[in-house]
Structure 1
């Protein structure tokens, strides 16, 4: 029989499920970030205990493997000093004259829409080590970023 007349099974048409990619480099986290990872692991373990469909079980196990790996490799960073922009601070900036603020956190805790960015993000890399009053380059502009304030209060998103 010609391949053209062969009916594919439902499984043949499903997209393959790959492991979730683990970000390269160190897995730095804030204390809050470690708590969030722990909460995610516990939630997934509860979901797994209640799951009955094979596809759902496989998806939960995949997610659980990712989050357990992140939990094991997490490196809680010491509290920031607040003297300069560093991991765990919220930096208040003027970017091209517009006020912005970002908490600098680990990869899994980052949520730019809620005001947190990964310490590996280009903007974070551009401002790490800067102090209040520093003017920093962005693109073709030498003084596009101004550090207005540095806050050490616990970072929350949302």
Structure 2
């Protein structure tokens, strides 16, 4: 299509529109550690925003400031909607939010997963969101129970071998 048929001002503005970060529709359960991490990230972003304000003549800084402000809105909303769940208040005999669960898979391999809030999830550190298929399979189970984890790669049975609710916030 010829550029003559495009409204160049609108075309250029469309690339500048910053899309808001999506907010999960699920309740925002967080561990005390998770709430601390949200607060720390919001504080870091606020400091960065203040630094970028000083560079008001730099087009890159203006764009970066817009992104930082968008992220600040996201973290502010997540902190405002946070439902802090202290793992120490959970039943020690059952997998619930905040649990660190040890399982043995069908091959005899042992895995440990912490069930945390959506913003805390980090599979590289075995922190899984409470809304993930794995956490949903584990929640409500007790030591000795075998649960079915429904995965795209095929279902897997996991036996719960240990349930722990860490007192340390770094879990």
**TM-score category by the smaller chain?**
0.7 to 0.9
Show CA shifts across 1:20-64 (max 9, x none): 011111000000001001101110100000012210110000000
Which residue, 59, 80, 93 being the options, matches 1:83?
93
Cα gap change, 1:5 to 1:66, in 2 (>3 Å): closer
Moved over 4 A (4+): none
Q: Given that residues 95 and 146 in structure 1 are in contact (C-alpha distance below 8 angstroms), is that contact kept between their aligned partners in structure 2?
A: yes
Deviates more, 1:147-156 or 1:101-110: 147-156
1:82 positional shift: 1.8
1:150 aligns with 2:150: no
Do 2:95 and 2:139's aligned partners in 1 also have CA atoms closer than 8 Å?
Answer: yes
**Is the 2:98–2:116 Cα contact (8 Å) retained in structure 1?**
yes
1:3 aligned partner: 3
Deviations 1:55-89 (A, max 9, x none): 01100000000000001110001332321111001
- Which residue of 2 is the match for residue 102 of structure 1? 113
Higher percent of residues as helix: 2
For 1:33-112, what aligned pairs fall within 5 Å after superposition? 33-51=34-52, 52=55, 53-78=61-86, 79=88, 80-97=90-107, 98-112=109-123
CA change 1:132–1:155 in 2 (3 A) is farther
Aligned residues: 155
Kindly report the root-mean-square deviation, in angstroms, between the aligned alpha carbons of the 2 structures.
2.4
User: Within 2, Cα distance between the matches of 1:35 and 1:117?
Assistant: 18
Unaligned 5+ segments in structure 2 are 56-60
Question: What secondary structure does 1:108 align onto?
Answer: coil
- TM-score norm. by structure 1 comes to 0.86
